[in-house]
A = this chain, B = another copy of it.
Amino acid sequence: MQLRLGSIVKELGGELRGNPERLVDGLAPLESATPSQLSFLANPKYAQQLAASRAGCVIVAESMRDQAVARGDCIVAAEPYLYFARVTQLWKRALDGASAPGVHPSAVVDPDAVIDPTARIGPLCIVERGARIGAGTELKGRVSIGENCVVGERCILHPGVVIGADGFGFAPDGQGAWEKIEQLGAVRIGNDVEIGANTCIDRGALGDTVLEDGVKLDNLIQIAHNVRIGKHTAMAGCAAVAGSATIGAYCTIGGRAGILGHLQIVDHVHISATSLVTRSILKPGHYTGVFPIDDNAAWEKNAAALKQLHKLRERIKALERGND
């Protein structure tokens, strides 16, 4: 598969400095690109790699134009990383053609589910009664959509995703056992949402669990009942959100991060990987709580001291009093 530089620029805009007839047969990072490949420089800290790159053409920002032209062919674009993303889409379409809509014959779709005719339901999917799948949405293979759950338009759900399993709700029965609280809500997913492999989004207990437009979830994420995630928030792999937490828009939640139940997180909050959010976060910003890794022997000494930390604080206080 080959694309002409001229046709890329015709499709995506940007200014081509170089030969529009040049063909590229792949995309690659600066350091490994060959003369028949297209590359990009998104982060100025890699500018030194530009001159040395063997790439046939490089996508660069306005500010790098002169350096890029001195090296060879380039496409000048306002946002090189975004431009690169759009080239990957162009590439994918050229490779695959449009993937045909429709329901794979091995999928199990309830007659009372509503599937938009432009949606694609992959092999071995399950779509239950009352569920609705919007236009242009694709369920890859082995995806489950539970009763009455709604998935918007242009969404992508990867293999193994489970939408609308029961939330984890039980009342103590007074004898030490648990009585099930039936989960009577559903899941509502907006448009342009992508959900990674084996991620689970539980149905609400009474109201619904909600993902707003443009939310992006990585693999193996747990979203509990009645969580609400604001638009364009992105969450990395293995994150977990407990019941009834509300997360704002434009947040990023790092991999393996956790959010306890019933908390509120406002817009534009960034949580580092692995951190556990234990209280509401009402101010935009970047938050972290991770034990720093160390060689095991050093960790053991510090961890032992940590278990005495409040006593150490008392000893410091005592020393300060003694010095008075």
Interface residues of A (CB under 8 A from B): 26-29, 32, 79, 81-82, 84-86, 88-89, 91-92, 95, 104, 106, 108, 122-124, 126, 140-142, 144, 146, 156, 158-160, 162, 165-166, 168-174, 176-184, 192, 194, 196-198, 200, 202, 205-207, 214, 216, 218-220, 222, 224, 232, 234, 236-238, 240, 242, 249-250, 255-256, 258, 260, 271-279, 285-296, 298-310, 312-313, 315-316, 319-320, 322-323
What CA separation (Å) do A62 and B294 show in the bound complex? 38
Which residues of the partner chain B approach A255 to less than 8 Å between Cβ atoms?
Answer: 222, 240, 242, 258, 260
Known: A165-B219, A177-B232, A200-B198. A293 touches B305 (CB 8 A): no
What CA separation (Å) do A25 and B177 show in the bound complex? 29
Question: Are A286's CB and B295's CB within 8 A?
Answer: yes
Question: Are A303's CB and B292's CB within 8 A?
Answer: yes
Question: Are A278's CB and B306's CB within 8 A?
Answer: no
Closest chain B residue to A272, Cβ basis: B296
Oligomer copy total? 3
Question: Are B180's CB and A85's CB within 8 A?
Answer: yes
Which residues of the partner chain B approach A276 to less than 8 Å between Cβ atoms?
Answer: 256, 273-274, 290-291, 293
Question: Are B214's CB and A192's CB within 8 A?
Answer: no
What CA separation (Å) do A287 and B296 show in the bound complex? 5
A–B complex contacts, Cβ < 8 Å, 9 sampled:
A104-B108, A124-B126, A160-B162, A168-B218, A198-B220, A258-B273, A275-B293, A286-B295, A298-B307
Closest chain B residue to A181, Cβ basis: B85
Q: Which 6 residue pairs spanning A and B have beta carbons closest together? A: A289-B293, A85-B171, A92-B182, A88-B182, A301-B310, A165-B197
Known: A85-B181, A307-B294. A206 touches B272 (CB 8 A): no
Distance from A77 Cβ to chain B, minimum over Cβ atoms (Å): 11
What CA separation (Å) do A236 and B167 show in the bound complex? 11
What CA separation (Å) do A209 and B88 show in the bound complex? 17
Which residues of the partner chain B approach A302 to less than 8 Å between Cβ atoms?
Answer: 306-310
Known: A85-B181, A170-B234. 11 other contacts (CB 8 A): A82-B171, A124-B142, A168-B196, A176-B249, A178-B214, A200-B220, A237-B242, A276-B293, A289-B293, A302-B309, A316-B316
Point out the residue from B82, B142, B176, B300 that lies within 8 Å of A179, measured CB to CB. B82
